[in-house]
Homo-oligomer: A and B are copies of this chain.
Amino acid sequence: MALPYFYINDIVADTLTLDEDTSKHVVQVLRKKVGDDILLTDGKGTKAIATITDDNRKRCAVHLGSREREEEPQPRVCIAISLIKNASRFEWFLEKATEIGVREIIPLLCERTEKEKFRHDRLNNILISAMLQSQQCWLPVLQNPADFGAVLKWGGYDHQFIGHCLPEERRSLTQLSKDLQGSSIVYIGPEGDFTKEEIEAALQHNVTAVMLGDTRLRTETAGIVAAILLRCR
């Protein structure tokens, strides 16, 4: 039986106190006692076995034992994706992107984005759950929403792609991803697609226009197709 697996922001010290939610889960839900072991990750590649030293159900204390370090998953993939009106579809995207091992997610504000509230804490918790559920120890970095034009200038990835549906020249991401080396970012537009001007701006920043298969996809589906094509290559 695998040890129950939890997230903690920082595992530098040798002894630490779990937050109230985690304490409750460990002590009250799982009925763990002093001397029992759990597994912790900091979401930055470290896993540590922790032994309970105080089974207080609000402030459970643990002593950290052996640690293990995992390298960052390769290839590094970032999905920069427009916010969408339907929050549960966006949350679904976050869960699946995490399972697939995407490293960074940038919520985009495009010209046709129908802006919605963005609750970073709530959405980050979805990433944490999905990371733990899939037994990973790297938490995707979730940025705050940013203007598409600004994100184009951020850089940091070897390859840049933009998925759109206009009848302009586009290459197949399937074909391109086959021989790709290094990290990549894909831009996915809102339900109404990127505007011509946005695509033009992307091309001027050396972003390659791509299509994602031969069917018309919803925003969140396009994000997942791109993530899989770039991660599983």
Contact = CB atoms under 8 A, between A and B. Distances in A.
Interface of A: 73, 92, 96, 99-101, 133-136, 173-174, 178, 212-218, 221, 224-225, 228-229, 231-233
17 contacts: A73-B214, A92-B92, A96-B224, A99-B216, A100-B215, A100-B221, A101-B213, A101-B215, A136-B216, A173-B232, A174-B232, A178-B178, A212-B232, A224-B224, A224-B228, A225-B228, A228-B229
Given A178-B178, A224-B224, A232-B225, A136 B215 contact: yes
B100 A218 contact: no
Contacts of A213: 100-101, 228, 231-232
Nearest to A233: B174
State the number of copies, please.
2
Contacts of A96: 221, 224
Contact of A221 (B99, B135, B215): B99
Nearest to A213: B232
A215 B173 CA distance: 22
Contacts of A136: 215-216
